[in-house]
Amino acid sequence: MKKEIWIFGDYRNYFQNRVTLQLLAKATELAAQIEAKVCAVLFGCEVSEYVSEYIAHGADCVYVTDHPLLKDYSVEIYVALTEQLAKERKPEIILVGATSFGREFAPRVAKRLGTGLTADCIDLEIGDNGLLIQTAPSFGGNLLAKIVTPECRPQMATVRPGVFRELPHDCIRTARIERIPLPDDLPKARVRLICSERQAQRDQRLEDARVVVCGGRGMGTRSKFKKLFELARLMNGEVGATRPVVYSKWAEPESLIGQAGRHIRPKVLFSFGISGAIQHTAATHNAEFIIAVNKNPNAAMMKMADVAVVADANQVCTALIKELKERIRN
Amino acid sequence: MMKLIVCIKQVPMVSELPWDSKTGTLRRELADGMMNPACRHALEAALQLKHEHGGHITAITMGPSVAEEILREAVAAGADRGILLTDRLMGGADTFATSYTLARAIEKTCPDFDLVLCGCHTSDSETAQVGPQLAEELDIPGAAYVEHLELDGSILRMQRLSDNFLETLEMDLPGLVTVTTQLYSPRYVSLSGVQDAFEKADIIFVSAEDIGLDRNRIGMKGSPTRISDVYSPTSDKKNIVMKGAARKIADQLFEKFGDRISGAIGKDLKTHDHEEEAEEEI
């Protein structure tokens, strides 16, 4: 029987569904190397639209339990269902999006299956020995660790949303859909959901931006900080801010880039006058290319940058605006 | 009387992590230890429950003998006793082995507990896995990323924000929660308070043998995962340093990285032809 890579279908909101699609794409790549097939595992009530979506995005097979009793997300119930199915089908790998739900669900599944789990991975690859090499950050992204599960199966990881790119939607793809009935001995959830209110969807402009211009207190004053908006506008980018800037009310709290704020992964990050507290570097280290401007060459942000410009942040910002206006072809 | 258990961990002081400038890696062994920030919030939540409802708090940690410091700090903050699981055999544990070790220790030292509180994640390895796995090991209901707790008889009511959903949950005790850093700001513990705790605190040292742990299920031996490599993500960057007048720098940035910038912003950029100005200013 062909090995299976499972992707947990986490569909409750846009962001969760995106990470599921991203994992399907990565799993397709990994599956080719270990001759496995990609299976989406999905629990819920009236979820056929997600079944189709997962197939269109790379699933070779979908295991779905669709039942009115599963209308609410429940860690305990989903863990029990996954445990039962995994003990029967013995997948080689299970990948789960590192959403709040995924990060509570996956550790429990791993415990029940007696296997290892790596948290919040930012890369996955198959090693020479066929093992899944899972790259996970620690110390706020200052260190990366490659982790393997040599003996136990399945190999399990939660994966940070946004690190892989989803495949284009292919509506003519077909796949096997296997309907798994709700087991008779399904346990009752011991944690009772009293109410659940959907919060307003936070816009994802900063997370999705290809260019982010991020400023810190080194910009000098509130009015100088405003120049960053013009620079960002010229580059079709977004403006992010550090915590001290938000505290000083130079920028809105929604623009906070940090552990408690937004995590970004732009193609190019411009960092102006930011020393680089760990909460901030943790949220920016996935940027592809970092240009940092700071008077202090030893600032953490300067050390992690591709280009470290030792100069006054405000002056460089002004010069860049001028330069861009001259260079952009209409 | 409520029996509360708070699981805490000693982590390196992140803001003062010493870097090895030659290799660009952290010298973790040189860092001072502190109580993990999220664990402080869990302790504070326990202290507030104790204040409102009465209770007894056991702070428990697994680690080297110096981790005793954070137990004394917990006692100084108001915990009633500390338990230090320390044993060479427990070293190198991943979350799977850690949750087994903690669960067996809790069952041995405090079998009639009502609530276990953990921080939602640690600042060093950042897995956030020990809490949920400990709930599995203890076979009790559990909820992660809880922001607010309210006790109503033997029912615990919880609020949390989970992936854009504001959830209200309930469970019967005994149970387990992992607490976020949103609320429950840790109280100030004076230095003299910690010093007093060093003199009189009730700290119990526990080895694997003391509580009859299965040697094959603890430490590295009991861990399904292996770390194959640890490295600094910034060390492979070129880290080009530029200096000089702002105008020249702006020009040079576009001359050298114009393609990359133009690709990202989706606009065509002119490249200037000014050989003499481009003389290595950088």
* B113 token code pair: 């507990």
Do A254 and A304 fall within a single domain?
A: yes
**For B14, which of A16, A139, A320 is closest by C-beta distance?**
A139
8 Å CB contact of B253 and A307: yes
Average pLDDT over residues A95-123: 96
8 Å CB contact of B96 and A140: no
8 Å CB contact of B239 and A306: yes
Q: Is residue A15 part of a domain?
A: yes
At residue B275, the pLDDT reads 46
Task: Report the 3 state secondary structure along chain B.
Answer: CEEEEEECCEEECHHHCCEECCCCEECHHHCCEEECHHHHHHHHHHHHHHHHHCEEEEEEEECCHHHHHHHHHHHHHCCCEEEEECCHHHCCCCHHHHHHHHHHHHHHHCCCCCEEEEECCCCCCCCCCHHHHHHHHHCCCEEEEECEEEEECCEEEEEEEECCEEEEEEEECCEEEEECCCCCCCCCCCHHHHHHHHHHCCEEEECCCCCCCCHHHCCCCCCCCEEEEEECCCCCCCCEEEECCHHHHHHHHHHHHHHHHHHHHCCCECCCCCCCCCCCCC
Q: Is residue A69 part of a domain?
A: yes
Contacts of A76 in chain B (CB under 8 A): 141
Q: Which domain-ending residue is among A179, A214, A236?
A: A179
Q: Is residue A31 part of a domain?
A: yes
Cα–Cα distance measured from residue A5 to residue A36, given in angstroms and rounded to the nearest whole number: 7
8 Å CB contact of A323 and B265: no
Q: Is residue A190 part of a domain?
A: no
Name the residue range of residue A36's domain. 3-179
At residue A35, the pLDDT reads 95
Which of A78, A83, A117 to mutate: most B Cβ within 10 Å?
A: A117
Do A170 and A35 fall within a single domain?
A: yes
* A139 token code pair: 């110390």
At residue B276, the pLDDT reads 45
Cα–Cα distance measured from residue A83 to residue A113, given in angstroms and rounded to the nearest whole number: 7
Average pLDDT over residues A123-145: 88
Do A222 and A302 fall within a single domain?
A: yes
% of chain A at pLDDT higher than 90 = 74
- Residue A49 in contact with residue A9, Cβ under 8 Å? no
Total tally of structural domains belonging to chain A: 2
Do A142 and A231 fall within a single domain?
A: no
At residue A278, the pLDDT reads 75
**CB proximity A191 to B under 8 Å:** yes
**For A237, which of B12, B124, B265 is closest by C-beta distance?**
B265
Contacts of A211 in chain B (CB under 8 A): 264-265
Please say if the pLDDT value at position A315 is more than 80. Answer: yes
Distance from CA of B207 to the nearest CA of A (A): 23
Per the confidence metrics, is the pTM higher than 0.90? Answer: no
8 Å CB contact of A110 and B135: no
Q: Is residue A68 part of a domain?
A: yes
8 Å CB contact of B232 and A138: no
Q: Give phi and psi for A73, each to the nearest 5.
A: -60, 130
Do A7 and A149 fall within a single domain?
A: yes
At residue A300, the pLDDT reads 85
**For A190, which of B171, B224, B237 is closest by C-beta distance?**
B171
Cα–Cα distance measured from residue A203 to residue A83, given in angstroms and rounded to the nearest whole number: 35
Do A120 and A219 fall within a single domain?
A: no
- Residue A172 in contact with residue B139, Cβ under 8 Å? no
**Domain B3-217, what fold?**
Rossmann fold (3.40.50)
**For A307, which of B124, B166, B240 is closest by C-beta distance?**
B240
Distance from CA of B43 to the nearest CA of A (A): 20
Name the maximum alpha-carbon separation found in chain A: 70
**CB proximity B230 to A under 8 Å:** yes
8 Å CB contact of B228 and A148: yes
Give the A window 44-73 contacts with B, CB below 8 Å. Answer: none
At residue B272, the pLDDT reads 67
Q: Is residue A255 part of a domain?
A: yes
Q: Which domain-ending residue is among A141, A161, A179?
A: A179
Least Cα distance to A20 among A91, A97, A93 occurs for A97
Do A46 and A166 fall within a single domain?
A: yes
* B49 token code pair: 């429950």
Give the domain ranges of chain B.
Answer: 3-217, 246-281
Contacts of B221 in chain A (CB under 8 A): none
Q: Residue A294 is part of a domain; what is its CATH number?
A: 3.40.50.1220
Please say if the pLDDT value at position A141 is more than 60. Answer: yes
**Helix, strand or coil, per DSSP, at residue A216:** coil
8 Å CB contact of B239 and A305: yes
Q: Is residue A195 part of a domain?
A: no
**Average confidence score pLDDT of chain A:** 92
Place of tokens 């109580």: B35
Q: ipTM value of the model?
A: 0.84
Q: Is residue A201 part of a domain?
A: no
Contacts of A119 in chain B (CB under 8 A): 125-129
Residue A106 Cα distances to A114, B10, B254, angstroms? 12, 25, 45
At residue B279, the pLDDT reads 47
Place of tokens 């995924």: A102
- Residue B252 in contact with residue B242, Cβ under 8 Å? yes
Strand positions, DSSP E, A199-322: 211-215, 238-241, 268-272, 289-294, 307-310
Cα–Cα distance measured from residue B81 to residue B60, given in angstroms and rounded to the nearest whole number: 9
Do A214 and A273 fall within a single domain?
A: yes
At residue B278, the pLDDT reads 45
Range in A7-11, A201-205, B111-115, B232-236 with the lowest mean pLDDT:
B232-236
Residue A129: which residues within 8 A CB-CB, separation 6 or more? none
Q: How sure is the predictor about A85, in pLDDT bands with cuts at 50, 70 and 90?
A: very high
Digit-coded pLDDT (tens) for A256-303: 998 667 888 899 999 999 998 877 887 888 898 999 999 999 888 998
From first to last of the 282 residues of chain B, give the pLDDT tens digit.
899 999 999 988 755 555 555 554 556 566 678 899 899 999 999 999 999 999 999 999 999 999 999 999 999 999 999 999 999 999 999 999 999 999 999 999 999 999 999 999 888 888 999 999 999 999 999 999 999 999 998 899 999 988 889 999 999 999 999 999 888 988 888 777 777 777 777 899 999 999 999 999 999 999 999 998 888 766 567 889 999 999 999 999 999 998 899 989 888 888 765 544 444 444
At residue B237, the pLDDT reads 72
Contacts of A315 in chain B (CB under 8 A): 246
Strand positions, DSSP E, A142-281: 143-148, 155-159, 176-179, 191-198, 211-215, 238-241, 268-272
At residue A74, the pLDDT reads 94
Do A237 and A172 fall within a single domain?
A: no
Strand partners, A159: A97, A121
- Residue A12 in contact with residue B165, Cβ under 8 Å? yes
DSSP structure class, residue A201: P
Cα–Cα distance measured from residue A10 to residue A15, given in angstroms and rounded to the nearest whole number: 9
**For A104, which of B144, B238, B251 is closest by C-beta distance?**
B144
For A249, other C-beta atoms within 10 Å of its C-beta total: 9
Q: Give phi and psi for B264, each to the nearest 5.
A: -75, -40
At residue B168, the pLDDT reads 97
Q: How sure is the predictor about A104, in pLDDT bands with cuts at 50, 70 and 90?
A: very high
Q: Residue A76 is part of a domain; what is its CATH number?
A: 3.40.50.620
Distance from CA of A66 to the nearest CA of B (A): 22
Please say if the pLDDT value at position A221 is more than 90. Answer: yes
Q: How sure is the predictor about A215, in pLDDT bands with cuts at 50, 70 and 90?
A: very high
Give the B window 82-111 contacts with A, CB below 8 Å. Answer: 94-96, 99
